[in-house]
Amino acid sequence: MEVEYLKNRRIHQRINDANVIVYYKTINSDSELNSNEKANIKKSIFDDKVSRLNAILRSRGAGYEPIINTINAKVNKLTSLINSFANPEMKIAELSAVNLSVSGIRFRTRSVFREGDRVELLMIFMPRVDLVDCRCEVVRVIDGRDDHGDYYDIAVKYIILDKDDEHKIVNYVKITIESGPF
């Protein structure tokens, strides 16, 4: 299914959806500089197996480069997801107010944020269990109050989002618009 045209046609189209689960962590300057955690996880899981596989595939010719790139992307995604779930700082957003588009997401939380804060997000699209991890910047904070106390609607724009994840979001928005919530 070709959905690239949707990127331009519906870039500002947003959906409200309770089927998206959002985990988040505020990124401070120290955690942005320290990427050793992911490197250590990658080494402990894969050791040098991926680099050996890459060498074998490269020895078979240039036609294997797309496969090598796909393998490396999937290994990096898996490493990021393990790092996210293993991180005790990760918190879950409230599911009642997720608003999603290809340019950003808005979610509700009890944690305080300020405009300009950077956030690491892990989104899970249900029921298909598509996983998207990205880095975002807070562009708007709206204060609110309900029966459980103060909350904040946090609107973020993506600042690091790989193409595969962008396509997952575009497809998810397209399917939800065309067929309604699952």
Q: How far apart are CA 14 and CA 10, in angstroms?
A: 8
Residue 14 or residue 110, greater confidence? 110
Q: Is the dihedral of CA 21, 162, 180, 142 positive or negative?
A: positive
Q: Is the pLDDT of residue 162 over 90?
A: no
pLDDT of residue 115: 93
The tokens of 49 are what?
């197996």
Choose the most confident range, by mean pLDDT, from 74-78, 83-87, 97-101, 143-147. Answer: 143-147
Taking the CA of residue 44 as centre, how many other CA atoms within 13 Å lie in the half-sphere pointing to its CB? Answer: 9
For 157, the enclosing helix (H) or strand (E) is strand 149-160
For position 12, what pLDDT does the model report? Answer: 47
Contact, 93 vs 23, CB < 8 A?
Answer: yes
Q: Which helix (H) or strand (E) holds 16?
A: strand 15-16
Averaged pLDDT, 5-24: 63
CB environment 87-123: b (16+ within 10 A), e (fewer):
eeeeeebbeebbbbbbbbbbbbbeeebeeebbbbbbb
pLDDT score at 30? 52
- Mean of per-residue pLDDT scores for the chain: 79
Predicted pLDDT at 167? 87
Give me the pLDDT at residue 10, please: 46
Q: Can you give the C-alpha Rg of the chain in angstroms?
A: 18
Position 18 scores a pLDDT of: 65
Amino acid 97: pLDDT = 67
